[in-house]
């Protein structure tokens, strides 16, 4: 049974986590070109990957792409020189996105806009979502800044999920794992506060940022997908003495849940974790 048949029978739209990579305009009048698209289709009941798709995309202006990338796996002019144009892969991208819930990190301010621009340029209607889950906004609201800034790389490092590749398919899979981990922590906080507090020592609260005379003491790198400035000053007290103790307790309880509830522990976790994915 394919993904579309399964979705229609269950009556619930699937979630598609997607990400695009683009050039970085470095002079006046230069535009964004989509250089890579990657997506995974996820069953909302089980959070399992049903389908995946990724493709490099050759821009209309190759000179807009850097000859060298500052990232180890970065996209260069040579990487996309022989890739298909956007219009050649637009049917597949449309079928992946249209009529599903769109999910991704900072997609409202960046990826959604670039997708609409790319479809407009080839003269065809853009795909339409039935809902949008922007993990930047969701996690800022529900999880706070306990992990530091709200970049995907920082959140992945906090949960020891590896280094962000800045390639579309790898990044969307990391995005899903970050959400799962955040949901687990929120579930534990709501369900086991006395147990968690009993394993913590030292100060009852820590904060993720320090300020002096109204100025931040830490420096933050900026990029095209960095959180908006309005989010930078957000602070939230964290009721744990150290991240290590929380990670150990999280792992123990996750293992207990897995043994107790069979093959779908995360389905239950997400159901009771402050409606994280609403």
* Active site positions, annotated: 166
Quote the CA–CA distance of 222 and 116 in Å, as a whole number.
24
Say whether 153 sits in a helix, a strand or coil: helix
Distances (CA, A) of 38 to 101, 115, 153: 15, 12, 17
What order do you get walking across the sheet with 101-104 strand by strand? 49-56, 34-42, 15-22, 101-104, 131-134
Quote the CA–CA distance of 86 and 37 in Å, as a whole number.
10
132 within 8 A of 101, measured Cβ to Cβ: yes
73 within 8 A of 63, measured Cβ to Cβ: no
Radius of gyration of the chain (CA): 20
Neighbours of 13 (CB within 10 A): 15
Neighbours of 148 (CB within 10 A): 15
Quote the CA–CA distance of 261 and 263 in Å, as a whole number.
7
86 within 8 A of 116, measured Cβ to Cβ: no
Residue 238: strand pairing partners: 206
């Amino acid at each position: 049974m394919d993904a579309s048949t399964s979705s229609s029978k269950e009556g619930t739209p699937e979630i598609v986590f997607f990400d695009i990579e683009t050039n970085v305009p470095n002079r006046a009048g230069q535009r964004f070109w989509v250089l890579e698209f990657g997506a995974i289709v996820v069953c909302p009941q089980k959070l399992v990957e049903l389908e995946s798709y990724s493709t490099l995309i050759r821009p209309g202006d190759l000179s807009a792409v850097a000859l060298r990338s500052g990232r180890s796996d970065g996209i260069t002019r040579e990487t996309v020189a022989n890739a298909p144009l956007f219009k050649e892969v637009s049917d597949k991208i449309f079928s992946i996105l249209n009529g599903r819930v769109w999910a991704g990190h900072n997609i409202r301010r960046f990826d959604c806009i670039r997708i609409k621009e790319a479809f407009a340029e080839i003269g065809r209607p853009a795909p339409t979502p039935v809902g949008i889950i922007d993990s930047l906004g969701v996690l800022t609201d529900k999880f706070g800044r306990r992990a530091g800034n709200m970049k995907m790389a920082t959140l992945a490092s906090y949960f020891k999920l590896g280094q962000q590749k800045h390639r579309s398919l790898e990044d969307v899979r990391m995005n899903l794992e970050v959400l799962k981990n955040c949901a687990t922590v929120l579930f534990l906080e709501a369900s086991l506060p006395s147990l968690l507090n009993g394993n913590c020592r030292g100060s009852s609260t820590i904060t993720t940022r320090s300020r002096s005379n109204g100025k931040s003491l830490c420096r933050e790198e900026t990029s095209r997908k960095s959180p908006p400035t309005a989010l930078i000053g957000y602070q939230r007290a964290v009721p744990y003495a150290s991240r290590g103790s929380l990670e150990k307790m999280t792992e123990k309880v996750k293992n207990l849940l897995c043994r107790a509830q069979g093959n779908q522990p995360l389905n239950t976790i997400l159901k009771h974790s402050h409606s994280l994915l609403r």
